[in-house]
């Protein structure tokens, strides 16, 4: 015998032992009665009453079973229970293959796996790969969320879930529901992804009893639960609507626990008659009411000065802008650092030119949503343009960077899957 023979023999023994373990047939543990018979070249036995079978870590129980000993599969009838360590699957009828270690049911199924429960019209479970497949009216619930979809795949070892078709995920902690066509959840990373027309909806009842619905959509939406501040991130063609507020941007973050929305990548925000733009916008919601909007970098505010003179726009610009709200109305707008304002004047509703004022800080005060007065602080400079100069020449007097957008998103223009 050569010096290589012993290691070779040991390897062969290990391989045969592993193969033997992998091919262990389904074993009968108990049945009240047993009938054996043959059909063709296959041997069968019918098991009746308190049937219990097992294979490796999987235990099967039911009222009645027909076991094909030749093919190593079992058809299970009545009160079917499949248990694989912490997972329990219940159904009324199922097929189990000892060769593939897979249970398949075309009947309604119920699954319990410690932290979550699931129901579906039918389902399959592979106890070898620890992967479960469910089809039709899938509904999953755990301690903090609910999910429904047309189909779902659950990878137990990796704690991953993929769902498709009319997906709805509701957070029970903050009343946020996310809709979409495809959903992926990575439990170990506390991360989720929704694609195919994702839409976030949060319905709030404000202090005065009115209902405000926050809606956020984009090409894709991510959710992170890796910190105390749960956040949802919408990417590409993002649209937001909440009451009188609408917004568009390329990238939006919603911090649900802080009631904060951060908009980046060319954000445009509309509130009533006001339009805000800048490098970055933060929208604050306090006591379920919009309280403040911060614009940082290239801040610009535009509002139509008069409903009759639609070409005249009051304007504010600077490096930073803050819009404050009270009782759902704009109360004041503060612009800081290189602040400049252009506002149109009226004398008893008759146009009377425009004022351009700049300073270190400009504060514009509003009454009932309309400009009441303007305060300019430090480094004040100003010009008055009479009506005969301004009339029919409004574009000349617009502040540098002026851009008025008419593609304001509306509630009815967003996906209606949530209704």
Total structural domains within the chain: 3
Q: Are residues 242 and 321 in the same domain?
A: no
Q: Are residues 135 and 235 in the same domain?
A: no
Let me know if residue 101 belongs to a domain: yes
Let me know if residue 6 belongs to a domain: no
Specify the CATH number for the domain of residue 335.
Answer: 2.60.450.10
Q: Are residues 147 and 165 in the same domain?
A: no
Q: Are 232 and 222 contacting, i.e. CB atoms less than 8 angstroms apart?
A: yes
Q: For residue 207, what are the contacts with CB-CB under 8 A and spacing of at least 6? A: 287, 288, 289
C-alpha R_g of the chain: 33
Mean predicted confidence (pLDDT) in 177-198: 94
Q: How many CB atoms lie within 10 A of CB 368?
A: 7
Let me know if residue 315 belongs to a domain: yes
157's torsion region: left (phi>0), alpha (psi -120 to 50) or beta? alpha
Per-residue pLDDT tens over the stretch 126-141: 999 999 999 999 999 9
CA 381 to chain centre: 49
Please choose, from the candidates 380, 300, 290, 298, the residue with its C-alpha nearest in 3D space to the C-alpha of residue 330: 290
Let me know if residue 13 belongs to a domain: no
Q: Are residues 172 and 241 in the same domain?
A: yes
DSSP 188: G
Let me know if residue 123 belongs to a domain: yes
Could you tell me whether strands 260-264 and 268-271 are parallel, antiparallel, or unpaired per DSSP bridges? Answer: unpaired
Q: Are residues 77 and 142 in the same domain?
A: yes
| Residue 234 bridge partners (DSSP) | 221, 252
User: Which helix H or strand E contains 392, and what residues bound it?
Assistant: none
| Two tokens, residue 419 | 């209704």
Among residues 227, 255, 283, the one where a domain terminates is 255
- What gap in Å lies between CA 146 and CA 159, rounded to an integer? 16
Let me know if residue 212 belongs to a domain: yes
pLDDT band at 20 (very low <50, low <70, confident <90, very high): very low
Per-residue pLDDT tens over the stretch 44-57: 999 999 999 999 98
Q: Are residues 204 and 276 in the same domain?
A: no
Identify the residue whose tokens are 């009838």. 77
Q: Are 231 and 246 contacting, i.e. CB atoms less than 8 angstroms apart?
A: no
- What gap in Å lies between CA 286 and CA 116, rounded to an integer? 33
| Percentage above 70 pLDDT, the chain | 92
Q: Are residues 143 and 167 in the same domain?
A: no
Q: Are residues 70 and 53 in the same domain?
A: yes
Q: Are residues 288 and 348 in the same domain?
A: yes
Among residues 230, 255, 280, the one where a domain terminates is 255
Q: Over the chain, what is the mean pLDDT? A: 89
Let me know if residue 14 belongs to a domain: no
pLDDT band at 74 (very low <50, low <70, confident <90, very high): very high
Let me know if residue 116 belongs to a domain: yes
Among residues 234, 255, 276, the one where a domain terminates is 255
**Strand extents, DSSP E, 243-328:** 245-255, 260-264, 268-271, 274-277, 280-286, 289-304, 313-326
Q: Are residues 74 and 126 in the same domain?
A: yes
DSSP for 338-373 reads EEEEEEEEEETTEEEEEEEEEEEEEEEEEETTEEEE
Q: Are residues 62 and 144 in the same domain?
A: yes
Identify the residue whose tokens are 């039709």. 136
Q: How many CB atoms lie within 10 A of CB 165?
A: 17
- What gap in Å lies between CA 223 and CA 255, rounded to an integer? 10
Per-residue pLDDT tens over the stretch 296-343: 999 999 998 887 888 899 999 999 999 999 888 889 999 998 899 999
User: In terms of residue numbers, what domain contains 172?
Assistant: 159-255
pTM listed for this prediction: 0.86
- What gap in Å lies between CA 235 and CA 407, rounded to an integer? 18
Q: Are residues 290 and 305 in the same domain?
A: yes
How far is the CA of 213 from the CAs of 120, 176, 261, in angstroms?
30, 10, 14
- What gap in Å lies between CA 188 and CA 157, rounded to an integer? 10
């Amino acid at each position: 015998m050569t010096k290589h023979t012993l290691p070779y023999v040991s390897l062969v023994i290990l391989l045969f032992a592993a193969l033997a373990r992998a091919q262990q047939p389904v074993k009968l543990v108990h049945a009240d009665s047993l009938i054996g018979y043959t059909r063709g070249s296959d041997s069968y036995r019918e098991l009746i009453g308190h049937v219990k079978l097992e294979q490796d870590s999987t235990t099967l129980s039911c009222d009645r079973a027909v076991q094909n000993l030749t093919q190593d599969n079992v058809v299970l009838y009545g009160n079917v229970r499949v248990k694989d360590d912490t997972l329990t699957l219940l159904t009324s009828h199922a097929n189990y293959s000892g060769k593939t270690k897979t249970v398949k049911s075309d009947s309604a199924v119920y699954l319990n796996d410690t932290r979550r429960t699931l129901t579906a019209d039918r389902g399959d479970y592979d106890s070898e790969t620890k992967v479960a497949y469910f089809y039709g009216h899938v509904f999953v619930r755990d301690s903090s969320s609910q999910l429904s979809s047309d189909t779902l795949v659950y990878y137990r070892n990796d704690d991953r879930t993929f769902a498709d078709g009319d997906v709805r995920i509701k957070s029970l902690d903050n009343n946020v529901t996310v809709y979409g066509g495809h959903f992926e959840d990575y439990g170990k990373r506390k991360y989720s992804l929704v694609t195919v027309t994702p839409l976030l909806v949060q319905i709030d009842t404000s202090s005065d009893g009115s209902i405000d619905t926050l809606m956020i959509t984009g090409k894709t939406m991510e959710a992170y639960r890796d910190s105390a501040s749960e956040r949802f991130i919408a990417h590409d063609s993002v649209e937001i609507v909440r009451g009188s507020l609408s917004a568009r941007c390329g990238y939006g973050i919603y911090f649900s626990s802080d009631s904060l929305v951060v908009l980046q990548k060319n954000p445009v925000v509309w509130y009533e008659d006001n339009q805000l733009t800048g490098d970055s916008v933060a929208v604050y919601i306090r006591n379920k009411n919009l309280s403040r909007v911060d614009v940082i970098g290239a801040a610009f505010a535009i509002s139509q000065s008069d409903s009759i003179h639609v070409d005249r726009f009051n304007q504010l610009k600077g490096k930073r802008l803050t819009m404050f709200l009270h009782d759902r109305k704009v109360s004041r707008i503060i612009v800081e650092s290189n602040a400049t304002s252009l506002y149109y004047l009226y004398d008893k509703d008759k146009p009377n030119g425009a004022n351009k004022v700049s300073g270190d800080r400009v504060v514009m005060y509003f009454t009932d949503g309309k400009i009441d007065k303007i305060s300019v602080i430090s480094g004040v400079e100003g010009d008055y343009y009479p009506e005969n100069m301004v009339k029919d020449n409004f574009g000349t007097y617009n502040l540098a960077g002026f851009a008025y957008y008419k593609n304001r998103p509306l509630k009815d223009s967003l996906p209606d899957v949530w209704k």
